[in-house]
Structure 1
């Protein structure tokens, strides 16, 4: 990647990043079109290749950029003293919603990238993906599981939480008018319901 990309005005950087996030989130690496990206970003195709050389270079950049943005927000926005299982997850979602106000497709892109099956794309993001997932896991693992009812399997609850969050996100985008605050409010309602159902 050409570091001069960061010499562009921030508004233009974000247009390019958001266009790439949307294309890769909706189409995966294989089906995302650089023609669509440059059209959405309002730039020339030559500019993409000037800064990123290849479509793979752009994909790797937006993944690295996305995880870096989220990690910074997570590491500064979540209390290191918090141990409640559901409160930690609510705080993570608040951080993600903040990121989605600037980069609406960032979370959807990360869900898509986690399932990426194009070998060169999956390999290109693997180190950043492993580091990101390890950082997130270290935060989520602080959650106290001793408050769960005896017959409430916290691992299954975690699976429900993850599937619910992705389902809500997908649904909000399908409705066509995504708002990060609405997404967050809906996810928190589900988390609060699960807290009531699974805690002693």
Structure 2
């Protein structure tokens, strides 16, 4: 990546990022055209390739930028004092649903990238996903209150279940309005409440 990109005015940097999200959200990696992205950003194709040597480099930059943005959003919106597993999970889901509503192209892009199977990009994305998921799990496992669980040794299995449920709930939500998204959040909370009854000690079984 050419460091000249970072010398651009911030609005032009943002245009290149947001227009990339839009085009790669609409089209899979193989079909997305750098010419179309350049046109959307109102710059020449040669200038786009001056900043990013090829489509792959540009795509991976967009993916990293999206992940960084979501992490920053999380830092601003989550109370670090929360130790309850299910409260933390529900707050995380609410935050993600808000991102889907507020930044639809970003979330469409990262969702499509997450399931990208084109060989030219898949290995790099898979490695980034592995690191991202490992970090996410470690963050949760390191701060929750294990005393509330009937069997603390089950927490890692529970987390895998919850993350799979959350992923299923979020797929295909990019075009929903806030009211429908909130409906999905409520459905998710009902499922979490059911799991809580199974995994938590009786004295901690309060409504989510």
What TM bracket, shorter-length normalisation? 0.7 to 0.9
Match of 2:196 among 165, 183, 199: 199
CA distance in 2, matches of 1:87, 1:7: 42
Alpha-carbon offset, residue 40 of structure 1: 2.4
SS of residue paired to 1:14: helix
Choose 26-35 or 96-105, whichever is displaced more.
96-105
Tell me the residue number matched to 2:116: 116
Structure 1 gap segments, 5+ residues each: 173-178
Which residue is 2:154 aligned to? none
Cα RMSD of the aligned pairs, angstroms, is 3.1
- Which structure: larger Rg? 2
Pairs aligned (count): 188
Q: Deviations over 1:99-132 (max 9, x none)?
A: 5577432222222222222222123344433332
Shift of 1:29: 1.4
Pick the aligned partner of 1:188 from 181, 185, 189.
Answer: 185
| Alignment gaps of 5+ in structure 2 | 152-156, 198-208
Distance of 1:103 and 1:53 partners within structure 2: 27
Matched residues in 2 for 1:197 and 1:19: separation? 41
**Secondary structure at the counterpart of residue 167 of structure 1:** coil
Distance 1:121 1:10, change over 3 A: same
> Within 5 A, what are the aligned runs for 1:72-151?
72-96=72-96, 103-141=103-141, 146=149
- Residue equivalent to 1:50: 50
Q: Which whole-Å CA distance do the structure 2 matches of 1:128 and 1:32 have between them?
A: 21
Superposition deviation, residue 21 in structure 1: 1.4
Going from structure 1 to structure 2, the CA distance change for 1:157 and 1:127 (only over 3 Å counts) comes to closer
1:159 to 161, 164, 180: 164
Q: Does the 8 A contact of 1:69 with 1:99 survive in 2?
A: no
Residue 52 of structure 1: how far off its partner (Å) = 0.4
Aligned to 1:176: none
Cα distance 1:117–1:198, how it changes in 2: closer, same or farther (>3 A)? Answer: same
Using the alignment, how far apart are the partners of 1:7 and 1:160 within structure 2?
42
Spell out structure 1 runs of 4+ moving beyond 6 A: none
Q: TM-score, normalised by structure 1?
A: 0.75
| Change in CA separation of 1:158 and 1:61 when aligned onto 2, cut-off 3 Å | closer
